[in-house]
Structure 1
Amino acid sequence: MKSSTAYTSIRKRGLHLGLLPEMAAAVNPSTPITLDHDLDTFPEAGRRLTVARYAEYVDDLAARLWAAGVRSDDRVVIYKTANADHWMLAAAVSRIGAVVVNLSPALDARTVGVLLQRLERPALLTDGAKLDLLDGLPLQDLTRRVITSAGDRPGTVSLAGLAGAPRVRPVVRPIDEAAVITHTSGTTGIPKLVVHTPRTQGLRLVPQWRLLSLLRKKETVAIHVPFVHSRMVAAMSLALLKAHPVLLMREPDPAEVAGHFLEHRPVLIEALPNSLMEWEGLAEDPRMPFASVKVFSSTFDAIHPGTMSKLLGASARPGALFFQIYGQSEVGPAVGRAYFRRSAHKANGRCVGWAMPMGAARLRVVSRNGSPPSEKNPGFIEVAWDGLAKTYFGEQERYDTQRRGEWWRTGDVGYRTRFGCLHMLDREVDMIPGVRSSLEIEDVVLSRLDELTELVVVRGPDAEPVPVICTADDKPVDPGRWRAAAADFPQLADPVHIPQAELPRTATLKVQRLELARRFEQRLEERA
């Protein structure tokens, strides 16, 4: 099968996660998949697979899940220790026609309990470490059955004990019915469960397929994305169907990352913005671990221009670019923009891009107060296309409050320039009186103070903008340097310096700004 044939099939029939490994193997069975860790479900597999072997493992796991009692239309929650086998298990669940529910291993027991209840007694696929964490929950009431992906526990069904189960024929879910459920980042509380269908997942590949088409040679694609995220579905699908060797990474440590990049020489790196910030120091590594990279890609959050500039400067490839996609779980890729080596450092970090070519999402900015949206009067950012998520599972009314006909209100505010570029200024819930854009302040000050590893502007107890700063090794920032760097923003309160480990984060490493602000308010109340 040609990759173009597989792509055409997905555009017409939707993306079925359970069929994807088999389709990729038909394109090229020898496409390599390299891991930076061992698989929990198949520890004997080692760290170097082929896509054909990968597809075989998925078929095997599908048979075991069927033998464990999972059937088509069942909802199966996968909540386990972070491991690349999560994606294999998700494909196996999908292969027998069940609905995959991916929960981040970073979620706490209370949150998992709430989501299990919302899902109306799903099957739970987990492991010993997570069962220990969930020990206080009434799992027998919250779930239909509990299956362990590795190891064995009383009262559970072990996949390991079902090795050799008879293979079953794949079941294809209807194109517009729920197929995969992921969750939002939870920056404002309990995450929402986002329902994706084969159609919506397939459509989301369209604009990104063109980006990968820029890579003529079949060089390695490095992916460092949470295995549970909806972005992982797209990243793996695109790379495997294009028959690119894949380096699938879990570990964020810069020293380990550098070793893998030096060995595999990726042409494209897909990673979280915060991971890329953490790897900035590798740009100074004399071994040049980024030398082979043609494309850096990030889709989760706006990234600071300084980070992009450092990474691009560390590439030895002519025409290297950083491609940023603005979107969210509910809408997929909405707009995009390429940054280049000579101009990235001068880029306006709030300009997140333009609408992508035909077949992708449409965009508009709607007034918040009756006056036309502009730089001084930002409006609500809305997106429309057939790639929008179907609903929030168990919260249809909540979904409907953000859906206006074909248009989805993202929760972000911004404006469009006369050239059509979307400027995203802030999340609506994070806006601070007297501050045009907290994100803009962070971009500017971070670019002026190399000693900062993180800067987050949050609303203080009296609605004042409080800059929370972190530094390498927690070294103090010189007050004079801070005043000079923040001189353009006199409304800022004095900076609050905390260890970076104390920043509350989501599963995709976004800072939970509301939680951070709440902690400051709580500290003041405790001192009063």
Structure 2
Amino acid sequence: MPKNPRPKNIGLLFEHYAGSPAPEWHLDIPFSIAPDTRTHDATSLANLVSDMSGRLKAAGLRRGDRVALVKNNHLDTIVLAAAVARLGALPAMITSTFDSETLARMMPRLEPKLLVASEEVLGAADRAGIKLVDKSTRVVCVDGAPDSPSGVTPLAEFAGADVPQPDIVDNSDPMLCTHTSGTTGVPKFVAHSANTLLGVLSKLETLRIPFLSTRPDDTIASCIAFVHSRAVTWTFAQFALPPAKAVVLSQADPSTVVETLSKHRPTTLEACPNIYQLWEHLIRTNPELFTNIRAYLSTFDAIHPSTVRAFMAATKRRGAVWGQSWGQSEIGPATLAVYPKRKVMRSEGSRGGPITNNVGRPIPFVTRIRVVDPETRKPKRRGQRGLVLIRTKGRCLTYLGEPERHREKDWDGWWNTGDIGVHTRTGSLEILDREVDSIPGMSSLELESLLIERLEPVTEAIVLGNPNGLPLPVVSTYDGSPLDPQEWRRATADLPELDEPRVIPWEDFPRTGTWKVRRPQLRNRMLNSEETFGTGRWT
């Protein structure tokens, strides 16, 4: 059973809670590192961390080394990261959705002693003729497939290694690396300490928020990117305020989601905004999955009001709420908005910006907001748009290998988020655009929400600023069919003038590990140009 004080270092987190009776952990698919079961408890997870730390030490990992963890999306990425941190080494959790070329460009910044990756990642690089790391880095395959490229050691080869004693780093030193989404270029490694990550960024998890906080009888399901710092604080939350069940949805595929949630009906559901969009048809085909949900949560990106309304209409819980957290990998959650069901349903067709553009108020005792002029850095008045700055004790330590880029975003102790927004007169924050994606006189986020709301067949909409012409809408539809021209004119009659829409399949939108659309790649494909109205100086 856990004893106080709670450790801040992830390397000690799991064994601190070993023996706790709750939650039961239920997986949609087994871990790569433990392929024989879909269920775990606190003790079995703690044993996995210890086992993996022994294996990694046997593979040559030592205190002060760095490790690249690149595998399919699942909670065992965090288990492996905890095992690395337990040895006093620095884990970097990296999404396997990056192509081999991007991964190879990231590695020199990390200089890993070990690359721990899935066979799929290693095989793709081998087929492309790309060396992910040089000869100084040992390569270990987590799933040990027999057709792994030469020079790769299966993780299973180290099974049975002696479990070392914990040897963690100081709480102020780098403990774990995640990375930025890479929507605007090669991702940056974001280094957090135990103090900044579990010492500060986890505070939102333990705040007692009416209707949103975890209850002992809850079944909490989560479909997020488990390489993100959000996944670390989510994992912490399941131990700190345990529900009855924690359901891990590593796969966004609707058929897998239906199978898992049919067995474990959630009372709280968290997913990335684009995943909710992907699942909207499940409200019609499998409505029973959502009837008992009392709280939804979305993070990572803006979510469209029409998506929120669709899921809120599906639950039978009268007091249901939707929580939206806004922040960045570098600073963690900066604001929280809670939308009651009644307010969400009444917002349809209302004038003004989409309700979900208002991302709420700063996290109490953690963050402060300032909106400034991008050129002069002078504060804007409440209600005026500008560049959003955040002050928080949970800010990351540095960008690994790129300290100058980190310093450029530090404006006298305030973190430049690179987002354009409005600090309202009531103290909340409205997000309008990324600065690099901004379009003069409008908000692409608002336009995209309106297009999805007004055009029933549309499942995704991205509006690309075009300095050489009209803004270009790129959309997908349920069945891939073209949009009706009359419906398009009706839906856009009161909007700024837009170019003719281009329809592409949903799966053809280039996406990050958190399913955000990579706008630069989409712009290059659609417009054959990388030119934008924004400067991109703070991405």
TM norm. shorter chain > 0.5: yes
* Contact in 1 for aligned 2:184/2:520 (Cα 8 Å): yes
How far 1:473 sits from its partner (Å)?
1.1
- 3-state SS in 2 of match to 1:134: helix
Residue 222 of structure 2: aligned partner: 223
Q: Which residue matches 1:19?
A: 12
The alignment partner of 1:343 has SS state of helix
The reply to whether residue 207 of structure 1 matches residue 199 of structure 2 is no
Q: Percent identity?
A: 36
Note the 1:39-188 alignment, pairs <5 A: 39-44=31-36, 46-135=37-126, 136-138=129-131, 141=134, 143-151=136-144, 154-188=150-184
Q: What SS does structure 1 have at the residue aligned with 2:476?
A: strand
Q: By how many angstroms is 1:265 displaced?
A: 1.7
Counterpart Cα distance in 1 of 2:412 and 2:272: 32
Q: Secondary structure at the match of 1:289?
A: helix
Cα deviation for residue 375 of structure 1 reads 8.4
**Cα distance in 1, alignment partners of residues 10 and 104 from structure 2:** 26
Instruction: Note if contact 1:374-1:415 (Cα within 8 Å) is conserved in structure 2.
Output: no
Task: Please give the alpha-carbon distance, in whole angstroms, between the structure 1 residues aligned to 2:218 and 2:174.
Answer: 34
In the alignment, the residues of structure 1 paired with residue 131 and residue 119 of structure 2 have an alpha-carbon distance, to the nearest angstrom, of: 16
Aligned to 2:389, what secondary structure does the other structure show?
strand
1:475 aligns with 2:468: no
Find the residue that maps to 1:342 and give its secondary structure: helix
CA distance in 2, matches of 1:440, 1:50: 43
**Cα distance in 2 for residues equivalent to 1:196 and 1:38:** 28
Q: Distance in 1 between matches of 2:521 and 2:151?
A: 37
Q: 1:500 to 1:139 in 2, by over 3 A?
A: closer
Q: 1:512 to 1:287 in 2, by over 3 A?
A: closer
How far is 1:523 from its partner?
8.8
The aligned residue for residue 250 of structure 2 is 250
* CA–CA separation in structure 2 for the residues paired with 1:273 and 1:143: 40
Contact 2:272 2:298 in 1 (8 A): yes
Which aligned pairs between 1:481-520 and structure 2 lie closer than 5 A? 481-520=487-526
Q: Is it true that 1:312 corresponds to 2:348 in the alignment?
A: no
Q: 1:114 to 1:142 in 2, by over 3 A?
A: farther
> Is this contact kept in 2: 1:122–1:145, CA < 8 A?
yes
- The runs of 5 or more residues in structure 2 that have no matched partner are 348-353, 531-539
Matches within 5 A, 1:191-202: 191-202=187-198
The answer as to whether partners of 2:78 and 2:226 remain within 8 angstroms in 1 is: yes
Shift of 1:388: 0.5
Deviations 1:452-501 (A, max 9, x none): 10111002361421111110111221111111111121321221222222
State the 1:515 CA deviation.
1.8
Q: Secondary structure at the match of 2:315?
A: coil
* AA matched with 2:520: L
Are the equivalent residues in 1 in contact too, given 2:457–2:478 (CA < 8 A)? Answer: yes
Please give the per-residue CA displacement for 1:399-450, whole angstroms capped at 9, x wherever unaligned.
11101232100000111111011111100000123x3211111112211112
Q: Residue 57 of structure 1: CA displacement?
A: 1.3
| Change over 3 Å in CA distance of 1:234–1:513 after alignment to 2 | same
Distance change (3 Å), C-alpha of 1:308 and 1:30: closer
Superposed CA RMSD in Å reads: 2.2
Alpha-carbon distance in structure 2 between the residues aligned to 1:143 and 1:101: 17
Report the Cα distance in structure 1 between the residues aligned to 2:389 and 2:280, rounded to whole angstroms: 33
More deviation, 209-218/410-419: 209-218
Which residue identity is paired with 2:206? W
Q: CA deviation at 1:111?
A: 1.1
Shift of 1:54: 1.3
The answer to whether residue 364 in structure 2 is matched with residue 357 in structure 1 is yes
The answer to whether the Cα contact below 8 Å between 2:28 and 2:257 also exists between their aligned partners in 1 is no
Find the residue that maps to 1:72 and give its secondary structure: coil
Matches within 5 A, 1:369-384: 373=380, 377-384=384-391
Q: SS at the partner of 1:179? A: strand
What CA distance in whole angstroms lies between the structure 2 residues aligned with 1:77 and 1:142?
15
Letter in 1 for 2:489: R
Q: Which residue among 432, 436, 439 is the counterpart of 1:429?
A: 436
Would the alpha carbon gap of residues 72 and 369 (structure 1) be closer, same or farther in structure 2, given more than 3 Å must change? closer
Return the letter of the residue paired with 1:158.
P
Once the 2 structures are TM-superposed, how far is the Cα of residue 262 of structure 1 from its aligned partner?
A: 2.9
Deviations 1:312-337 (A, max 9, x none): 11112231111001101011000110
Answer yes or no: is the 8 Å Cα contact 2:474–2:501 preserved in 1. Answer: yes
User: 2 CA distance for matches of 1:278 and 1:139?
Assistant: 32
| Paired residue secondary structure (1:493) | coil
User: Is contact 2:509–2:522 with CA below 8 Å preserved after alignment?
Assistant: yes
Deviates most, 296-305 or 144-153: 144-153
Query: What residue is the counterpart of 1:272 in the other structure?
Result: 272
2:533 counterpart residue number: none
Checking the alignment, whether the CA contact within 8 Å between 1:173 and 1:179 is kept in structure 2 is yes
**Counterparts of 1:121 and 1:228, CA distance in 2:** 17
1:490-528 Cα offsets, whole Å, 9 max, x none, are 32122122222221111111111122112223299xxxx
Aligned partners of 2:109 and 2:340: how far apart in 1? 45
**8 Å Cα contact 2:370-2:379 kept in structure 1:** no
The answer to which of 473-482 and 343-352 deviates more is: 343-352
Distance, in Å, in 2 between the alignment partners of 1:254 and 1:247 is 15
Whether the aligned pair in 1 keeps the contact of 2:67 and 2:112 (CA below 8 Å) is: no
2:371, 2:379 within 8 Å by CA — same for their partners in 1?
A: no
- CA offsets 1:353-411 (integer angstroms, 9 cap, x no match): 111222x2111111235586368851110111110011100101111110123210000
> Are 1:522 and 2:536 matched, yes or no?
no
> Is 2:426 the counterpart of 1:419?
yes
Aligned counterparts of 2:517 and 2:286: Cα–Cα separation in 1: 32
Q: Is 1:233 paired with 2:232?
A: yes
Aligned length: 514
Question: What amino acid does structure 1 have at the position aligned with 2:11?
Answer: G
1:73–1:97 contact (8 Å) kept in structure 2: yes
Shift of 1:285: 4.1
What CA distance in whole angstroms lies between the structure 2 residues aligned with 1:252 and 1:138? 30
Cα deviation digits, residues 61-84 of structure 1 (max 9, x gap) = 111111111011110001123343
1:454-473 equivalences in 2 (<5 Å): 454-460=460-466, 462-473=468-479
